[in-house]
Structure 1
Amino acid sequence: MFGNYLIGLREGLEASLVVCILVAYLVKTGRRDALRPVWTGIAIACGISLAFGALLTFGSQELTFEAQELLGGSLSIVSVGLVTWMVFWMKRTARHLKAELQGKLDAALAMGTGALVATAFLAVGREGLETALFVWASVRASGEGSSAPLIGVLLGIATAIVLGWLFYRGALRINLAKFFTWTGGMLVIVAAGVLAYGVHDLQEARFLGGLNSRAFDISATIPPDSWYGTLLKGVFNFQPDPTVLQLVVWLLYVVPVLALFLAGSRRPPAPTPRTAPVSTADVG
């Protein structure tokens, strides 16, 4: 459940920050008349993201078992690719996100209402679709038949909305670069579990071989139905009896990706004047 909470929090906070920056910029520049098309674009993006999630959830139920596993495994791998790109992108651009969005908003203001709707839709829609896909893959990986993963995601999104509102009101200030670095590292571990689960789906679909070749089996030591087994599965998508291919893919992903991510975090920053932590309260 914690892993899914982290996904909802991380992805939801990105979307919340985008909304805060767009709204605060319009308010501070005296363009409240442009808020309605911006909120329209945001609402459309949220609606399409929810519809995409529903399509993934219910659309695959009519498929055969092997087709479901093939679809689930393929989309899990795609979602891991997207979330990996997002983690590195957000880490690189967190400090410049405000300026980038304000530039796009200035251009949209000059073009008219339709451009404002499109700008807000694209800014939030990308986050929403990524979230829907990765959440769907993670819920499949960490708790089919259980509502706990979905509850975790919803709690994470709710927390992100509250944090976004506090940012907008200026009641909360945190170093967003450090926040996204810490959560990004944890999300890489979660993504590795989703990737391994996706590989297992492809093995069950008979697209990949090695389904019966177990790397190890510690089910007796860590029973999947025990509280600690459930905790490990919920947080890390841990499986006590992975196949050899699952273990190899997990290691080939998590070791280089986490090393590259953390290596970039340790680079000494360029000398800059001392400033307060990044906050959307500074927008304008």
Structure 2
Amino acid sequence: MLANYLIGLREGLEAGLIVGILIAYLGKIGRRDLFGRLWFGIGIAVAVSLGVGALLTWGPYAMTFQAQEMLGGTLSLVAVALVTWMIFWMGTHGAGLSKELRGQVDAAVDRSWFAIVLLGALAVGREGIETALFVWANVSGGNDPVLGTVGALLGIVTAIVISWGISRGLVRINLSRFFTWTGLFLILVAAGVLVYGIGDLQEASVIPGWGTHAFSLVEAVPPGSWYGTVLAGIFNFTPEPTWAQVIGWVLYVAITTTLYLGMLHRRRRPVTAVAPASAAPTTAAVAAN
């Protein structure tokens, strides 16, 4: 539930910030008449996201077991890829997000009325579909689907309240620090979903090695214990992983965390000003004096 709450909170906050920027800019340029079209596009995005969630929840039951496992494993890998992309995209585009969205609004206003609808649908729909897919993949790992869904909804509601508070100046939050730490946490959550997806593909005989455990932590972390339940619910922890799952988890966490921390380091590294060549003689003269 905690993992899904955080997913809903992060994705909801991203969507809320995007909507807030779009509405504020339309108001600033005196195009309040386009608010209805923007909200219509946002409504389409919400409906599509709910539809994707419903299709993922009830669609696979008409399939064979092997087909279900193949679909579940493939969609889990897709969910991991989307969330990984989202983490890096927000880290690299977060600072210039407002400017980028204002440029998209200007281009949409110059085109047609439908362009504003499409802008609202695409801006929010990406976050909604990512949320639906990743929550489904996380819940499919054996977590309680009701608690998982409730956790995601609570996260989205919290994000809406925070976004409204930010727009009114009632809430102040260090968004850079928030997205940085939640990004690191979601890397571990995504690694767990990756392990689950690999397990599904192994059960479907797409990847070999199912049934051969790399090690067993059942005695240290019993599945029925409270801490075993918490680890399984948040990180999709399994006490008896296969070698493919262990290798996949280690490689994903090592590579993704290294690249993510490197990106943060480059973003925060101060830019050293280089003196122009023409100033060099003056500096030397001053030193000589």
TM-score norm. by structure 1 comes to: 0.92
Deviation at 1:25, TM superposition (A): 1.4
1:131-170 paired onto structure 2 within 5 Å: 131-143=131-143, 145-170=144-169
Please name the residue that 1:113 is paired with: 113
Query: What displacement does 1:205 show?
Result: 1.1
Q: Residue in 2 aligned with 1:42?
A: 42
| Separation (CA, whole Å) in 2 of partners of 1:3 and 1:228 | 15
Q: Contact 1:10 / 1:160 at 8 angstroms: preserved in 2?
A: yes
Note closer, same or farther for the CA distance 1:123–1:3 as it changes in structure 2 (3 Å cut). same
Shift of 1:263: 2.2
Q: Unaligned stretches of 5+ in structure 2?
A: 273-289
* Mean Cα deviation higher: 246-255 or 211-220: 211-220
Alignment of 1:3-152 (within 5 A): 3-143=3-143, 145-152=144-151
- The one-character-per-residue Cα deviations of 1:146-175 (angstroms, maximum 9, x if unpaired) are 422222111111111111111111212222
Q: Counterpart of 1:266 in 2: which secondary structure?
A: helix
Structure 1 Cα separation of the partners of residues 39 and 189 of structure 2: 32
1:146 to 1:119, Cα distance in 2 relative to 1, 3 A: closer
Within 1, Cα distance between the matches of 2:248 and 2:34?
48
Q: Distance in 1 between matches of 2:234 and 2:128?
A: 22
**Do the aligned partners of residues 56 and 146 (structure 1) sit closer, same or farther apart at CA in structure 2, a change above 3 Å counting?**
closer
| Distance in 2 of aligned mates of 1:152 and 1:183 | 16
Deviations 1:115-170 (A, max 9, x none): 11011111111111122111111111251x54222221111111111111111112
What is the CA–CA distance in structure 2 between the aligned matches of 1:232 and 1:159, rounded to whole Å? 24
What is the rounded CA distance, in whole Å, between the counterparts of 1:88 and 1:60 in structure 2? 31
Deviation of residue 271 (structure 1)?
A: 5.1
- C-alpha distance in 2 between matches for 1:27 and 1:146: 40
Structure 2 residue identity aligned to 1:169: R
Q: Does 1:2 align with 2:2?
A: yes
TM-score, structure 2 normalization = 0.90
Aligned length: 271
Q: Does 1:173 align with 2:184?
A: no
Q: Is the 8 A contact 1:8 1:155 kept in 2?
A: yes
Structure possessing the higher radius of gyration over alpha carbons? 2
Letter in 2 for 1:12: G
Instruction: Find the aligned partners of 1:179 and 1:29 in 2 and give their Cα distance.
Output: 30
Shift of 1:223: 1.4
Between 92-101 and 204-213, report the one with greater CA deviation: 204-213
Residues of 2 paired with 1:271 and 1:165: CA distance?
A: 35
Find the residue that maps to 1:5 and give its secondary structure: helix
Q: Pairwise mapping of residues 179-258 of structure 1 onto structure 2 (< 5 A)? A: 179-258=178-257
When structure 1 is superposed on structure 2, of 81-90 and 108-117 the one drifting more is 108-117
Determine the C-alpha separation between the residues in 2 that align with 1:216 and 1:155: 36
Per the TM alignment, residue 231 of structure 1 is displaced from its structure 2 partner at its CA by 0.8
Take 2:131 and 2:142, find their aligned partners in 1: how far apart are those partners? 16
Q: Which moved more, 1:244-253 or 1:27-36?
A: 27-36
Q: Which amino acid aligns with 2:121?
A: F
Question: Is the CA contact (8 Å cut-off) linking 1:4 and 1:234 kept in structure 2?
Answer: no
Q: Deviations over 1:55-84 (max 9, x none)?
A: 111111111111111100001001101111
Measure, in 2, the Cα distance between the counterparts of 1:132 and 1:255.
26
| Aligned counterparts of 1:158 and 1:195: Cα–Cα separation in 2 | 27
Q: What SS does the corresponding residue of 1:147 show, helix, strand or coil?
A: helix
The amino acid of 1:60's aligned partner reads P
| SS of match in other structure, 1:95 | coil
CA distance in 2, matches of 1:95, 1:249: 32
**d(CA) in 1 for partners of 2:222, 2:64:** 30
